[in-house]
Amino acid sequence: MVAAGAGEPRALKVPGADLSGVHFAVDFLTSATMAVLGGKDPEISAAGLDVVVIGGGDTGTDCVATSLRQGAKSVRQFEFLPEPGETREAVGNPWPEYPSVKKTDYGQQEAEALQGSDPRSWAVDTLEVRSDDGAVSGLHVVSLDWSDGSPKRIEGSDREIPAQLVLLAMGFTGPRADVYTSLGAKVVEFRGGVRPQLADGTEYRVVASTKKGVAAQVPTFATGDARNGSTLVVTAMADGLACAAEVASELHL
């Protein structure tokens, strides 16, 4: 049973995204944690740098706070979506869905205390990562108009933002393909990532790959975020129980 989560981070697909100084949030946060545990300097440090965090959520908040604690010169956070309201909308976001409301967490609170303002800018799209001798020097961004429900770039709103460290906290596209291919199971492309291809008549068993040279096929089952992509933990837990029941049924337990 594969329950490894949705471990493939969503990449920034713009010119310059491969420059030195652009990192996935999970790599930055892992580096920071290992440095604290080992009593050494982090491999990826925000000290003395202008930092831009692209993406919100809990991971983006952790990046903001960690950058500040490492001694960043400045920290900004860009959200692609428009600024949400302070209260849940009566239509379109009913309980028990996660409330789509503005959330100011500890990272933003620390930024307000140290920098004097909320680090977030809403409805911002990154067009290009600027370079200085192969390293990040800034971002070329533009504001978005969401008034009709879809993003439209606002003419004349593009601008340059200084940055020597860019942290990508834009979520995850789904499970890593090699988790399945190493087991001889098949994956299919789905919304910029992959999903395991499920067998007919089953909710959780994965189809064996037909490619030559793959590992010998063993019965493989997918569950949770490794089957569906990023979801709430309670959803993944329920999915895991259902998958276990299917496995037990196949084993005649």
- 228 phi and psi angles, rounded to 5 deg: -105, -15
Task: Give the span between the Cα atoms of 108 and 231, in whole angstroms.
Answer: 24
Q: What is the pLDDT of residues 9-53, one digit of tens each?
A: 899 999 999 999 999 999 999 999 999 999 999 999 999 999 999
Q: What is the pLDDT of residues 211-246, one digit of tens each?
A: 655 555 678 899 999 998 888 889 999 999 999 999
Task: Give the span between the Cα atoms of 189 and 205, in whole angstroms.
Answer: 17
The DSSP secondary structure of 137-199, one letter per residue, reads EEEEEEEEE-TTSS-EEPTT--EEEE-SEEEE---EEES-HHHHHTTTB-EEEETTEEEEPBP
Task: Give the span between the Cα atoms of 175 and 190, in whole angstroms.
Answer: 11
pLDDT above 90 covers a percentage of the chain that reads: 62
Q: Where are the domains of the chain?
A: 8-172, 175-250
Q: What is the pLDDT of residues 53-89, one digit of tens each?
A: 999 889 999 999 999 999 999 999 999 999 988 888 7
AA identity, residue 242: A
Exposed / middle / buried, residue 90 (Cβ in 10 Å: 0-12, 13-18, 19+): exposed
Quote the pLDDT of residue 99.
Answer: 81
CATH class of 8-172: alpha beta
Identify whether the C-beta of residue 3 lies closer than 8 Å to the C-beta of residue 224.
Answer: yes
